[in-house]
A and B are shown apart, each in its own frame.
Chain A
Amino acid sequence: MPAVSKGDGMRGLAVFISDIRNCKSKEAEIKRINKELANIRSKFKGDKALDGYSKKKYVCKLLFIFLLGHDIDFGHMEAVNLLSSNKYTEKQIGYLFISVLVNSNSELIRLINNAIKNDLSSRNPTFMCLALHCIANVGSREMAEAFASEIPRILVAGDTMDSVKQSAALCLLRLYKTSPDLVLMGEWTSRVVHLLNDQHMGVVTAAISLITCLSQKNPDEFKTCVSLAVSRLSRIVSSASTDLQDYTYYFVPAPWLSCKLLRLLQCYPPPEDGAVKGRLVECLETILNKAQEPPKSKKVQHSNAKNAILFEAISLIIHYDSEPNLLVRACNQLGQFLQHRETNLRYLALESMCTLASSEFSHEAVKTHIETVINALKTERDVSVRQRAADLLYAMCDRSNAKQIVAEMLSYLETADYSIREEMVLKVAILAEKYAVDYSWYVDTILNLIRIAGDYVSEEVWYRVIQIVINRDDVQGYAAKTVFEALQAPACHENMVKVGGYILGEFGNLIAGDPRSSPLVQFNLLHSKFHLCSVPTRALLLSAYIKFINLFPETKPTIQEVLRCDSQIRNSDVELQQRAVEYLKLSSIASTDVLATVLEEMPPFPERESSILAKLKKKKGPGAVSVTELEDNKREGGELNGSSDRGPDIAAMAASNASTPSPSADLLGIRSAAPVGAAPTSAGSLLVDVFSEAGPAAPSLAVNDDGFLRDLEQPTEASDALLVEGSGDSDSAPPSEDPAAPLSEADELLNKFVCKNNGVLFENQLLQIGIKSEYRQNLGRMYLFYGNKTSVQFASFSTTVTCPGELQSQLNVQTKPVEPIVEGGAQIQQVLNIECLTDFSDAPLLNIKFRYGGALQNLTLKLPVTINKFFQPTEMLSHDFFQRWKQLSQPQQEAQKIFKANHSMDTEVLKAKLLGLGMALLDNVDPNPENYVCAGVIQTKGQQVGCLLRLEPNAQAQMYRLTLRCSKDSVSRRLCELLAQQF
């Protein structure tokens, strides 16, 4: 037992600890502890009142027992009693017990809070600190309720001792983290910020942690801290190594404070004030310069402290991402560390370079270190360092070095630690796809991946290779040949069998000419793997077999034989049995034509964000994949998939998506939607959805007049349960999520669409909404395309269409809810069925809500459904026109407006607009050839409204006179109002 150097020893405690240490076995220890617990319990329960010293000693023993890992269920009250002792030593042990063994027993909390309150108001700094430490250690809600308003006062009071201020600042920070709602800085804000100027370095060190946390939550209120932090930093950085006396650590001035200051600055963008910014850049340069100076001490503490500041400065430089010079210097500095003999520095340099790689200013500089990083991947002895090297290779990869990096990662995979294999596989798969110029390389890479690390290749990865092969006919033959070769290996991974089965089933014919891979050879090769595979793979192989029957009629007898045998047709697995039975029947009764139709080659998959990337993002958590990386992927992804025609016009894109499936596809689409256009026949659906549990394929969007009309006539049947009724159910929504009021420009947006049906309805930083609509009679169908312009997922995405006020009884709008998630860069579509019941003036409202990075976005637009959309053009002769014109002569039937031209008065433009309006434009009717007249009938469910229009331009005055006569006066007024905005 060592001599206790300071303070008073508690001999009883020391003896007890010695006893425990001398116990030879766990059982003996438990026995000794139980004896002690019994002893203490009897002392606490005994009639004789215990003196403070004994109480302290026993409480301390209980604490020791607890720290050994045993449960303690008594002694709390005695500890609370110690809090109110006026002997410091007893109070201190009481507080320690409470801090370590907090119990949310409400009765006790009240007593504890009372004791704390007494100590806080004692004006004895030592007692105050003890009480503050206890609050900071426990940090419970109850304590926040009791003290959150008191502590800021202590923190800023002029007569508070420095040590108390330090504790108060960090105590407040802890309470703020537990209960931010209870800590109201308000009036204290500026005084707290000014603690950065405090003379006592310890006070600054403590206060800055509080300020940093508050700044993250309320950057605007605390932004004055930026200039204060810069000047404080500047003073430290430029001080001589001994100026700061006790705050100098191994010749480094105030390393902790420096790091905290640099960290605080990372809560803000670069300072706007030129002088402040200049001073800061100077500091950062000085820090970088110092890294090049010879060390002032050989101790590792010196270099660690110095480099801690350096890394924090580099983080700030990366955070600003605006000073190319500093970024490149940072990169060079990290480059030196890559070869440092200290493992810690190599690790940190690799980690920090990952973020530098995503900056456009330093990406190239990072790339110059590729050989060193590859070497690290091969030779580092510590797996955590190798992991960092792999991350960095992934981050620095681009088209110029992709082949080298992928090859190195693949060869590393052969020996990689199990813990990081899955992530490595995903990374290789993503890089191979992202930078594939040559698809045979891509196919080779993925097959290698399956060969080397088959167990770690997730479904997403092998789905993807199949999607890409299906969408690119230039690689299909190569893929078939390569999988055929890979399957020759005596032991090949089941994932290889899956890919092989699928690809040979689709494209085996491309290599069947070679006798070495004749149809029967292919079949026998696949079937030789069959019995070693799991049920899902066998099911896939059965589908490949039926595809073989179609591709190669000569294999039919052999395959039918296989399907017919008991192990298939009587298989205990329902899925396998069903496939065997159905395929056998299909192959025997269907004619060649039917077979060919049912078993046709898979159509291309629709394009979507790579689901592999989504998986990696999920694995690493949000934020792990940098924005540039994602955008990069989007850009490059387009090239990979061969769709070079991706214009900026979302509507055009939407339109092309709707009519023909885009040639590019994404692997993962398979799960959520079957390929567009794969209209399944009842037998075929099994085949089409080899992978998918999703039921019916998405309805074909091909716009064909007949189909369109047919669909329109029964707009609601299919969608009963999911209908969003025209009348808004916003009443039931929580108040905070009420739909926003319509945008101020909503009317303007609406006006854009009076004379046209397609285009971009709305666009901001985050979202683009494209629209495409068609109308026939009193029915309409509108396609809305919501495009996520960011690289971050929109969560809880929902849209609601409402018909405000009387519009409810005039217009019937139905739609289905959309998918709640819109991935970064992705686009989703919503279909609206619209029925005009009677004429109307208002527009339906479209409310869109979603979460972007945690913030709720809520916006409301007017849907451009206007009464003129339901026009049927009516051709008529001059005579008829004027006769009708006269019939509609009641004053309320006419609406007229004279207005100044807002747009070009060019004849062709005007004609196009009038045609877009939906009426027939009548030639040779008006005696004045400058004038335009139109006729049409508005179709509503209940009635038809005849309308005549006359537009008289006056080019000299740049004016128009517009006259409308309709059989219904409300229609005249509304049309006049709408059209006056158009010319």
Chain B
Amino acid sequence: MTMQFMLLFSRQGKLRLQKWYVPLSDKEKKKITRELVQTVLARKPKMCSFLEWRDLKIVYKRYASLYFCCAIEDQDNELITLEIIHRYVELLDKYFGSVCELDIIFNFEKAYFILDEFLLGGEAQETSKKNVLKAIEQADLLQEDAKEAETPRSVLEEIGLT
């Protein structure tokens, strides 16, 4: 199971999250993204979730307005990849509480942190929902502590003007 990359994009083709597990140049990444977004969006709803693309296999699934799209290698298992996507969606859902596209836009850094706990280097690191969320919550607790220790910020900053 080696995932090459994972892309999240909207029905309008806006990229919401990108995770690359193989070293590629920025130019190449943009090219791949453009090509795949176009290919996947052109597919009809009842079509199969897998397609051959270059020498990779693409596994994708749509959740509400968001497409989750992964590239895996020739030997890899498509169905289990589909469930990787689903588990990630479950994790986001549990963490944000009924996750929607906006949560991922405004808290993109959290989406990355959760993904890193779940998949590392393109491989499943921890598949237990409970354990992944526990790790994220511990980190959040550390943030809470840190916040309390911080000095109060300026009023200007509180309302987001800097």
Q: Which residues of A contact B (CB under 8 A)?
A: 1-2, 4-8, 11-12, 14-17, 21, 53-54, 60, 63-64, 67, 69, 71, 87-90, 92-93, 96, 99-100, 126, 129, 132-133, 136-137, 139-140, 163, 166-167, 170-171, 173-174, 177-178, 201-202, 205-206, 209, 246-247, 249, 254-257, 259-260, 263, 301, 304-305, 307-308, 311-312, 343-344, 346-348, 381-382, 384-385, 387, 621
Contact = CB atoms under 8 A, between A and B. Distances in A.
Interface string B86-121: 110000000111001011011111101100100011
A4 to B, nearest CB: 6
Contact of A344 (B48, B86, B96, B158): B48
A344 B127 contact: no
Given A6-B95, A64-B108, A11 B159 contact: yes
Interface in B37-89: 44, 46-52, 55, 75, 77-80, 82-84, 86-87
A147 to B, nearest CB: 14
26 contacts: A5-B97, A6-B140, A7-B140, A12-B160, A14-B106, A71-B26, A87-B146, A88-B143, A96-B112, A99-B112, A246-B131, A263-B77, A304-B79, A308-B82, A311-B77, A311-B79, A343-B49, A344-B48, A344-B49, A344-B78, A344-B79, A347-B48, A348-B50, A348-B78, A382-B48, A384-B47
B103 A2 contact: yes
Contacts of A2: 100, 102-103, 106
Given A4-B106, A163-B135, A166-B125, A308 B77 contact: yes
Given A88-B139, A92-B113, A311-B77, 13 more contacts: A64-B108, A89-B146, A96-B113, A163-B135, A170-B125, A177-B121, A202-B126, A202-B128, A260-B1, A263-B1, A308-B79, A344-B82, A621-B55
A343 B15 contact: no
A266 to B, nearest CB: 8
Given A171-B120, A385-B48, A67 B18 contact: yes
Contacts of B120: 132-133, 136, 166-167, 170-171, 174, 206
A381 B47 contact: yes
Contacts of B35: none
Interface residues of B, number: 71
Nearest to B18: A67
Given A205-B125, A621-B55, A7 B48 contact: no
A87 B141 CA distance: 12
Given A205-B125, A257-B127, A53 B1 contact: no
B12 interface: no
B4 to A, nearest CB: 12
A348 B79 contact: yes
Interface in B1-54: 1-2, 15, 17-18, 23, 26, 30, 44, 46-52
Contacts of A304: 79-80, 82-83, 86
Contact of B157 (A4, A11, A63): A11
A305 B80 contact: yes
B124 A205 contact: yes
Given A96-B113, A137-B116, A205-B126, A343 B48 contact: yes
A60 B109 contact: yes
A7 B106 contact: no
Contact of B109 (A93, A126, A163, A344): A93
Main SS class of interface, A: helix
Contacts of A247: 127-128
B28 to A, nearest CB: 14
A700 to B, nearest CB: 45
Nearest to B80: A308
Contacts of A90: 146
B87 A249 contact: yes
Nearest to B84: A256
Contact of A12 (B83, B130, B135, B157): B157
Nearest to B57: A351
Given A166-B126, A311-B77, A174 B83 contact: no
Residue picked from B26, B105, B130, most chain A C-beta under 10 Å: B105
Contacts of A255: 80, 83
Contacts, number: 206
A206 B46 contact: no
Given A259-B77, A304-B83, A308-B79, A15 B139 contact: no
A68 B2 CA distance: 26
A69 B30 contact: yes
A336 B158 CA distance: 62
Contacts of B26: 71
A596 to B, nearest CB: 54
Contacts of B112: 96, 99-100
Contacts of B44: 381-382
A11 B106 CA distance: 10
Nearest to A212: B1
Residue picked from B18, B48, B108, B124, most chain A C-beta under 10 Å: B48
B105 A17 contact: yes
A387 B26 CA distance: 32
A28 to B, nearest CB: 16
B123 A170 contact: yes
A522 to B, nearest CB: 46
Given A96-B113, A170-B120, A259-B80, A1 B127 contact: no
Nearest to B90: A301
Nearest to B59: A344
Contacts of A16: 160
A42 B124 CA distance: 42
Contact of A308 (B83, B108, B123, B150): B83
A15 B156 CA distance: 13
Nearest to B29: A69
Nearest to B49: A344
B83 A206 contact: no
Nearest to B50: A347
Nearest to B81: A308
A621 B130 CA distance: 43
A30 B124 CA distance: 37
A53 B46 CA distance: 47
Pick the 4 closest A-B CB pairs, nearest first.
A15-B160, A308-B79, A308-B80, A88-B142
A637 B140 CA distance: 68
B143 A259 contact: no
Nearest to B112: A96
A174 B22 CA distance: 9
B83 A301 contact: yes
Nearest to A387: B52
Residue picked from A4, A140, A249, most chain B C-beta under 10 Å: A249
Residue picked from B23, B55, B75, B97, most chain A C-beta under 10 Å: B23
Given A202-B127, A344-B50, A139 B23 contact: yes
A249 B91 CA distance: 13
Nearest to A58: B162
A11 B158 contact: yes
Residue picked from A6, A100, A163, most chain B C-beta under 10 Å: A6
Contacts of A132: 120
A123 to B, nearest CB: 16
Nearest to A258: B80
Contacts of B97: 5
Contacts of B142: 88-89, 126
Residue picked from B52, B105, B127, most chain A C-beta under 10 Å: B127
B33 to A, nearest CB: 9
Contacts of B83: 249, 255-256, 301, 304-305, 308
A256 B80 contact: yes
B110 A7 contact: yes
A53 B150 contact: yes
B19 to A, nearest CB: 9
Contacts of B77: 259, 263, 308, 311-312
A192 to B, nearest CB: 15
A821 B95 CA distance: 58
Contacts of A67: 15, 17-18, 108
Nearest to B47: A382
Nearest to A213: B2
